[in-house]
Chains A and B, each alone.
Chain A
Amino acid sequence: MKLLTRSTYYFFIFSIQTMIAAGAIFYYTFRTIVYKQIDDSLIIEKTIIQEQIDESDSIPDFAASYGHLIRVRLLGTPVLYSQTINDTTLFDVPSSVYLPFRHLRFTNNTHGKSGYIINIYQVLDENKKLLNMVAFGMVLLFLSLLLVSLFVNYLMSKKLWRPFFEAVNGAANFNVLSDKFPELQETNINEFKQLNLVIEQMTRKMRADYINLKEYNENSSHEIQTPLAVIRSKLDILMQKRNLGRKSIDLIKSINEATTKLFKLNQGLLMISRIENLQFPDTKEISFEELIQKWLDNYEEIMQLKRIKVETEISNAALVNMNETLADVMISNLLSNAVRYNIDNGYIRCRLDNQCLTITNSGMPLEIDPELVFNRFSKGTSNPHSVGLGLSIVKKIIDHYNMKISYTCTDSVHEIKVFYKS
């Protein structure tokens, strides 16, 4: 949930509760006042009637009274009920509906021989209407107040929090590969000032660290090449010695294997860092078809030996604008993987259309999560000679050109798709 939504939500809940409470209190207070007024007028009427009965032992002329409806019952014997005031309804003949009334009942016994039960009614219709109108007006007022304050609160929070959101956005969009730093909004709120400062320092530090690391990687990779060349040349010379024993030969052999692996590893890492450093700027129109043909030809004998069947299916393939070396590395890596991890009597199918290059090949079931095949040093086989960089180099190239690649493996069928036209 967004902070703004949450704060608005809390504000809404709080204010609606307050308003309901305030509204209820107001309504009942107002109602009490109105009833009190009515009841007072009924009691005044009662006093007048009582006085009149006391004076003349007769019921006054009720038409002249306050517009109250008065009903009197005369009884032969005295009665004594306590006085009650309540709400009731009476049937109104002209409009043939029941109308609400306030009702006062009291008894009066004159001279001990007869008793009156007197009911005084005050129609509540008008008062009820007033009460309702007031209530309605109040609700309306409260609602509009709520809406306005919600809106104001929303706007204010939005404005208040803007530097924060911009800082977060800036930090999220920051890419350590580019030297574009997030542009942070000037603010005079201390907390946000601090946040901006931290983000700025952090991104600059990240960028500096990244550049350092990159240079270190590249330099070390380059510097390793020469000692490796020395080791390899010495081994080549050493092998030429005439009277080497079996033990020495085995030693030299394993040194040689390790050196080769180190060399391949270094070469692969160097390649990756050079792609990351954008050191392949030149592009030209590349035909994948030609490259596929070239590399299939190169691996032809190997495939023959493993009795791998090759099928190519190429239909209106598009030319791709990319760097020649990278295109070559990409296709050769993909195809050499398809050959290398294939099985005897297996197959390789290359399908190339104007959008997608699909390479399907038979092989052993994958030992690792298919999601991980593009990661560095994640090897799908236990082949000790594989350094596990081939597909991560391919992935780097794909990313470099904003292409898409997918890998699926069902049982023993491996399929790689390169969507080269996005």
Chain B
Amino acid sequence: MRCLRYILLVLISLLPFAGMCKESGQGGVDVRSIIFEHVKDSYEWHITAIGDNHISIPLPIIVYSSRTGWECFSSSVFHHQEEYKGFRISTSGDNEGKIVELDSFGNEVRPVLDLSLTKTVVSVFIYSIMLVLIVLYVARWYRRHRIEDGAPKGFVGVMEMLITMVLDDIIKPNVGKNYLKFAPYLLTVFFFIFLSNIMGLLPIFPGGANVTGNIAVTLALALCTFIAVNVFGNKEYYKELFWPDVPSWLKVPVPLMPFIELFGVIVKPFALTIRLFANILAGHTVVLAIVCIIFITMEVDTRIGGAMTFVSVLFTIFMNCLELLVAFIQAFVFTMLSSVFIGLSQPEHKAKKH
């Protein structure tokens, strides 16, 4: 209760500044561009703007073009000029915000390969390093202590709680008896998604990137699960896939059942991709939209805007709490579905089952 009162106090003390928003903003608030700027990938990491000074970290652009071959330059070159070595950042059309070059007809086309270290790529690197450091730290604790020393405390204890939760609640019941083979992969997936989700909720530099709300990231994760499912699937799984136990007219002249099964195999990673991506994207969008309500109402009237600041910040706090829950649940669900798919690819003999 006291905590809530403090929050209200802070909000009330912020009210005088609410009027300033109107002065600084020129023209209408473009909610769509604000949201999309955050949600989409970009070639520089925009941190904040103080007045008209935009503070951002320029990131390297690496492209392979059929015209010039490999090119590598900093994205800060576009601050002063629109075009550099024939490359430019598109401002409209399908490739909006992406790096493009002009083909012989004067149309904007994407380079053959665009391996730029974008904001999302850099945050993936940062979170990967964080994850590795965290897990190796925990592993070092376990290496240094004997079993008789008892359970860990503090941070390592929290990590152990999460690991045992994932192991006992997700992996063991779903994967089956050779769960130890897949446990490192599933745990890596869980912690990667969880860490990315949590960091995505932080509004400042190391966090704040929309990593798991980017379809390429979730597609990569789903591809890993796809590989784990199909490379380590046993004979029974492939028999079920191509020669299932159904009346033979369903599979001989027209391979109907195999087709359906194959469709299922392809749909599974797709479902994983879309679910995680859409959930996190929707979460970020909603939080930003609620924050934008302040600026929209401020344009209409400062007093209404002031009141709305109140409501909107409370609502944003609520949404952030909800997003914390979603961050955990989505990591949990992705891991759970992955382990269910892996478990389904390792069926035991039917005679044993029935």
Partners in one complex: no
Measured CB to CB, the residues of B under 8 A from A are none
Residues of A at under 8 Å CB distance from B? Answer: none
